[in-house]
């Protein structure tokens, strides 16, 4: 073989090798089922090995409770019993008790995991305290805007009530849910922006660019909570169509303001107020949109590109060890985020999104 021909062949082989290597790194790989399973295990395992110690305090149980919704999603997706056992051990550490703060929705969030374990184990003690808590709240009911006065509450408590109905067949839990949810909606929802204020302190608050202030994770809580309500709400329930309409309206808002990197900023209508990605809200949006696609509520042709772009963006901030970066710390407003920030609810939201992507057909 002549030297020029050998050189040309060598150059061709090198280019071919680089092309194959590049193809292996193409974003399309992040949609494969092996990648999704691997990433779920990696993120779940890292977070289990690196608990956020502040979440051990009762007032932040909700942060870990949100993570365990993702742990259960990992169990359902991977069929690995270790994740179910982790969730059981966590639940048993509370002796299956629900709320120290009786009326506070944050403390109700653990019930989502208790009830999901109950679906598998059918042990009545797992949901006994949930029933006692909500039976008492029904007897002393206040308006949604009083007990669920901040938008995060619409993730914490409502999905517990639909799962509780599914487990017991008791209509009163859905009646309570609908009365509470739609009163909070009337109080906090901006019908022009199709977004939720975090609480009443934001009704007249403006972002630096003059727009209304809407917090990404707060709206992520609502979208994810709405999807999780619909998951167990009977389609013949009088309020079913209202939840569907809400999910569609919020999805359209998210589509319109998605960042070029696929992620959303902490201040939804002013990307420059906190000019960094925020992965917990973005994960919840990705989850809710994928759930809507999988359940025939959101148009696949219109919304799958949104979800895929979000999924790619999220995975660009998962470290090789499984740490999800750019998670805004515990707070109540658009606030500073750094790449090193992580939190359990961020990992939980990522795992929920991954579980829905895995189901995509």
CA dist 214 and 151 (Å) reads 11
CA 179 to each of CA 57, 163, 236: distance values in angstroms, whole numbers, following the listed order = 31, 17, 17
Q: Are 63 and 55 in contact (CB under 8 A)?
A: yes
Active site residue: 129, 152, 199, 270, which one? 152
User: What are the respective helix, strand and coil percentages of the chain, to the nearest 5?
Assistant: 65, 5, 30
DSSP for 226-237, please give it. HHHHHHHS-TTS
Q: How many CB atoms lie within 10 A of CB 161?
A: 28
Q: Are 162 and 231 in contact (CB under 8 A)?
A: yes
> Looking at the DSSP assignment, which residues form a beta bridge with residue 278?
264
**Residue 150 token pair:** 């901040």
Q: Are 341 and 325 in contact (CB under 8 A)?
A: yes
CA dist 35 and 13 (Å) reads 28
CA dist 300 and 292 (Å) reads 9
The contacts of residue 234 (CB under 8 Å, 6+ apart) are 174, 240
DSSP for 40-59, please give it. HHHHHHHHHHS--GGGGSGG
106 is an active site residue:
no
Catalytic residues: 152
């Amino acid at each position: 073989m002549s030297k020029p021909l050998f050189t040309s062949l060598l150059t061709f082989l090198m280019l071919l090798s680089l092309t194959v290597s590049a193809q292996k790194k193409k974003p399309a790989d992040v949609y494969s089922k092996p990648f999704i399973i691997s990433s779920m295990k990696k993120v779940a395992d890292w977070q289990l090995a690196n608990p956020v110690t502040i979440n051990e305090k009762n007032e932040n149980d909700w942060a870990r409770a949100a993570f365990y919704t993702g742990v259960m999603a990992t169990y359902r997706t991977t069929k690995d019993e270790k994740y179910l056992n982790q969730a059981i051990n966590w639940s048993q550490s509370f002796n299956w008790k629900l709320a120290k703060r009786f009326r506070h929705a944050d403390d109700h969030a653990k019930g989502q995991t208790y009830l999901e374990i109950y679906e598998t184990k059918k042990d009545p003690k797992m949901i006994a305290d949930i029933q006692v808590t909500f039976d008492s709240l029904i007897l002393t009911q206040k308006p949604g805007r009083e007990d669920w006065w901040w938008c995060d509450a619409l993730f914490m408590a409502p999905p517990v009530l639909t799962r509780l109905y599914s487990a017991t067949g008791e209509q009163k839990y859905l009646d309570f849910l609908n009365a509470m949810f739609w009163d909070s909606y009337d109080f906090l929802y901006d019908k022009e922006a199709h977004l939720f204020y975090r609480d009443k302190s934001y009704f007249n608050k403006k972002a630096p660019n003059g727009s209304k202030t809407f917090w990404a994770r707060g709206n992520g809580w609502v979208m994810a909570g709405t999807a999780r309500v619909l998951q167990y709400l009977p389609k013949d329930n009088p309020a079913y169509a209202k939840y569907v309409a809400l999910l569609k309206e919020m999805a359209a808002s998210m589509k319109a303001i998605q960042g070029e990197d696929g992620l959303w900023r902490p201040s939804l209508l002013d990307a420059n107020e906190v000019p960094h990605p925020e992965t917990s809200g973005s994960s919840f949006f990705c989850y809710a949109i994928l759930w809507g696609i999988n359940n025939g509520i959101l148009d696949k042709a219109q919304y799958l590109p949104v979800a895929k772009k979000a999924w790619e963006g999220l995975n660009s901030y998962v470290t090789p060890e499984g740490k999800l970066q750019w998670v805004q710390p515990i707070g109540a407003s658009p606030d500073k985020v750094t790449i090193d920030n992580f939190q359990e609810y961020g990992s939980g939201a990522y795992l929920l999104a991954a579980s829905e992507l895995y189901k995509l057909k």
